Amino acid sequence: MSSEKKEKKKGGCLKVFLIVLLVVVVVGAIAGTVILNKLKKMEKEANDTMKTATYAGQDCPDFEVTTTEGEKVKMSQLLEGKEALCLVLFATWCGPCEREFPEMDKVYRKYQDKLAMIGLDVDRLDSEEDAKKYADSHGLTFPIAKGNGTLDFVKAGAYPTTLIIDRNGKIGMHRIGGIPDEETFEKIITTFLGDDYQERQLAYLTFYAMSGKKMIPGVEFTVTNENGTETYVTGEDGTVGVFNDKPEDMKVKVTKVPDGCKIDGDGELSTGIGSIVLQLPVK
């Protein structure tokens, strides 16, 4: 074979290779786009579910679990002689859980004569040994247990998920998302304590403003419910907590942003009835 023919053959092979490579890249890109779109759809569906679902107001089944110390406990036993029970669904790898537990433990130690509390590791990736190692290494005052099938009555939309169960066995708050500090948790707990307690529900939402990866303080917005309209401003960390005396769909409108930021669209959103973390329409 002449050198000229060899070069043509080599060039033809190269073209075929490049065409195949291009097809692989294009197919991969299409597949990647399909997967990405599917993930985005799943994320939106999960967020929509969290916004429209709440266990607040429902009776809590008398579940039974075994703590990492080997003690079998039922909800009714934990509530015996107490005014409220805090049940936190978590995973050992959950960062927000890691941050909130020490803050919660301070409040638990302060009110443990009236408050029962238990952390339930319900993550499928965690084993009972993982839960025990977590409990042993963190030195928390309240008990830790590994969740099991008896907890099918509640699904954790995200970690942490916190349920406050009142003295009558009713779920008074269902919060998806971390609780930032001792003061906030104390405000939640004391809502369900006291001799004058009457059955109630509580909604607790966290709003945050972000542009790119930067949190934005000083964003002003209004929250409107059936009782009227209140104005809030995000703090130095770009977040603000909002409490409502019951879970309800509230209307939110961003009214003012700092220099360098813009209101996204009409600046409006609806909260849904879930006690969750919501991003304000700011860019």
Within a domain: residue 18? no
For the chain, the domain total comes to 2
pLDDT at res. 28: 52
Specify whether 215 is located in the same domain as 157: no
End residue of a domain, out of 167, 201, 235: 201
Among candidate residues 210, 207, 197, the one with its CA nearest the CA of residue 251: 207
Domain that holds residue 129: 64-201
> Of 201, 219, 252, which marks where a domain is finished?
201
148 and 214 share one domain: no
Q: Contact at 8 Å (CB) between 122 and 147? A: yes
Paired tokens of 233: 């401003």
Residue 31, in any domain of the structure? no
4 is a domain residue: no
- The CATH number of whichever domain residue 272 belongs to comes to 2.60.40.10
Q: Is 198 helix (H, G, I), strand (E, B) or coil?
A: coil
Is 116 strand, coil or helix? strand
Of the candidates 215, 187, 217, the one whose C-alpha atom is nearest the C-alpha of residue 203 is 187
Spell out, as residue ranges, where the chain has pLDDT lower than 70: 1-52, 148-152
Q: What mean pLDDT, rounded, does the chain reach?
A: 86
> Terminal CA-to-CA distance of the chain, rounded, Å?
65
Residue 177 placed within a domain: yes
Domain shared by 131 and 242, yes or no: no
Residue 136 lies in a domain: yes
Is residue 10 domain-resident? no
pLDDT, residue 32, reads: 52
CATH number, position 154: 3.40.30.10
For residue range 190-217, list pLDDT tens digits in order: 999 999 999 999 999 999 999 988 999 9
